[in-house]
Amino acid sequence: MKIKTTHVGSLPRPKEMHTQFLKQKKIDDDDLRRYLRDIIEKQILLGLSFINNGELPRSDYINSTINRISGFFETGIAPFPKDLEELPEYSRRFSGRNGLITLNPKAPIKLPASSEELLYTGEDSLRKELDMMVSVFDELKQKYPESDSELFFTSPSPGTVALFLENTYYPNYETYLQKLGEVLNREYEIINSYGVLLQVDCPDLAMGRHTRFKDLPDENFLALIESNVAILNQALGSVDQKKCRAHICWGNYPGTHHCDIDIAKIFNSIMRINADFISIESSNHRHAHEWEIIKKCVVPENKILMPGVIDTTSNTVEHPELVAQRILNFVDFLGPDRVIGSTDCGFATTASAAGVTGEIAWLKLKSLVEGVKIADLKFS
């Protein structure tokens, strides 16, 4: 059986688009469609099994969220990771923002915070993004009829929005989380109605431990993420579990990650997400060994793991043989039909913050596809 491939979602913007963004020039729909066609065609030509729009229409998670949900009119502070808090000499190397977190405590980043009743107001913009992605994909499928690529589309979990955007309106975290679940339920339903796979991004279940909730004991954090998973599952109530992916990560930033919570502690909570496909970081140096821990855990029979076999914080291009080795670590105990080779995280969590340049990101994705082909031959 052919082992499939994918990535986590965000891809570096084309150079021209990136330049326009930095100069704050308006990118019209014609330009966006042209950039999108280029990004989707590259993924098809590489032979990736599950592809998306690279999150090109979004400047970052925050703008995407507050443009679709009304009620974020106050200001909060972006979370600061514990590993960099413990390493002030290292943290001074950073100018401040990396994606959606602060890496230098002396350069705090402000983010929106809830200040009014939250309402979902983004159906038109969501459908516009989905329509353009599906339309471009359908055109390219006619050009490449032999391609077996399928589409996925990303959206944050309720817990992820709560992780980045502070609450100043609701009486407590639980009420805020519940409301976010009710609001995002509409977004999930719309995405699911298009027939594409919904990917729910859940860094709250791992990265949350050493950022927003770094002062909690492990047992309290585990109770919190149980609530996060329960609310997420409620929000996914009408979504086909077989068409749903969940991405778990410890943060796509260049920290030491020595304060990351171990996969063993959060594994059972993750497995309770109502999504058949589970994406986890498995190649960065802090978590590359954890396939051996997962091997000893009970992976529900309906779950398909999408281990990261490409590090999205390093500019070193993984050798295909290393990719094959990493894939086979999982295939050997799950089988080829329950493993999809992926990246650890996205390559560009914001349009302006790409630690790995586009030219290198595409080399890494090429190595991913080549490595999975090697793994296929070795396993068969």
pLDDT in tens, 154-164: 999 999 999 99
Q: Give me the pLDDT at residue 184, please.
A: 97
Considering the domain boundaries, does residue 118 fall inside one? no
Query: Who has greater pLDDT, 77 or 371?
Result: 371
In this model, does residue 146 exceed pLDDT 70?
A: yes
Q: Give me the pLDDT at residue 60, please.
A: 75
Q: Give me the pLDDT at residue 351, please.
A: 57
Considering the domain boundaries, does residue 29 fall inside one? yes
Mean pLDDT on 231-258: 96
Mean residue pLDDT of the chain comes to 93
Query: Who has greater pLDDT, 71 or 22?
Result: 71
Report the C-alpha gap between 55 and 44 in whole angstroms: 16
Buried b (16+ CB within 10 A) or exposed e, 213-249: bbeeeeeebbebbeebbebbbebbeebeeebbbbbbb
pLDDT tens per residue, range 321-330: 999 999 999 9
The CATH number linked to 142 is 3.20.20.210
Of 236, 344, 347, nearest in space to 287 by CA: 344
Considering the domain boundaries, does residue 66 fall inside one? no
Mean pLDDT on 171-176: 97
Q: What is the 3-state secondary structure (H, E, C) of the chain?
A: CCCEECCCCCCCCCHHHHHHHHCCCCCCHHHHHHHHHHHHHHHHHHCCCEECCCCCCCCEHHHHHHHHEECCCEEEECCCCHHHHCCHHHHCCCCCEECCEECCCCCCCEEEEECCCCEECCHHHHHHHHHHHHHHHHHHHHHCCCCCCEEEEEEECHHHHHHHCCECCCCCHHHHHHHHHHHHHHHHHHHHHCCCEEEEECHHHCHHHHCCCCCCCHHHHHHHHHHHHHHHHHHCCCCCHHHEEEEECCCCCCCCCCCCCCHHHHHHHHHCCCCCEEEECCCCCCCCCCHHHHHHCCCCCCCEEEEEEECCCCCCCCCHHHHHHHHHHHHHHHCHHHEEEEECCCCCCECCECCCCHHHHHHHHHHHHHHHHHHHHHHC
Q: Give me the pLDDT at residue 380, please.
A: 76
Considering the domain boundaries, does residue 78 fall inside one? no
Mean pLDDT on 109-131: 95
Handedness of CA 167, 173, 175, 180 (dihedral sign): positive
Considering the domain boundaries, does residue 88 fall inside one? no
- Joined tokens for residue 209: 């431990």
Do residues 185 and 239 lie in contact, with contact meaning Cβ atoms separated by under 8 Å? no
Domain extent, residue 138, equals: 4-57+123-379
> How does residue 352 score in pLDDT terms, banded at 50, 70 and 90?
low
| Domain count within the chain | 1
Q: Give me the pLDDT at residue 73, please.
A: 94
Considering the domain boundaries, does residue 74 fall inside one? no
Percentage of residues in the chain having pLDDT higher than 70: 97
Query: Who has greater pLDDT, 369 or 21?
Result: 369
In this model, does residue 64 exceed pLDDT 90?
A: no
Three-point CA angle 125, 127, 130, nearest 5°:
110
Q: Give me the pLDDT at residue 356, please.
A: 83
In this model, does residue 194 exceed pLDDT 90?
A: yes
Q: Give me the pLDDT at residue 20, please.
A: 77
pLDDT tens per residue, range 310-324: 999 999 999 999 999
Mean pLDDT on 79-88: 93
Q: Give me the pLDDT at residue 312, please.
A: 93
Q: Give me the pLDDT at residue 108, please.
A: 83
Considering the domain boundaries, does residue 291 fall inside one? yes
Q: Is 380 exposed, middle or buried (0-12, 13-18, 19+ CB in 10 A)?
A: exposed
Q: Give me the pLDDT at residue 96, please.
A: 52
pLDDT tens per residue, range 214-234: 999 999 999 999 999 999 999
At position 186, the amino acid (one-letter code) is R
CA atoms within 13 A on the CB side of 293: 13
List of residues 6+ apart from 374 with CB closer than 8 A: 320, 321, 323, 324
Mean pLDDT on 113-138: 97
Report the C-alpha gap between 341 and 163 in whole angstroms: 28
Q: Give me the pLDDT at residue 50, please.
A: 98
Query: Who has greater pLDDT, 312 or 99?
Result: 312
Of 296, 379, 298, nearest in space to 337 by CA: 379
> How does residue 200 score in pLDDT terms, banded at 50, 70 and 90?
very high
pLDDT tens per residue, range 1-51: 699 999 999 998 888 887 777 677 778 899 999 999 999 999 999 999 999
In this model, does residue 97 exceed pLDDT 60?
A: no
Considering the domain boundaries, does residue 76 fall inside one? no
Mean pLDDT on 285-301: 96
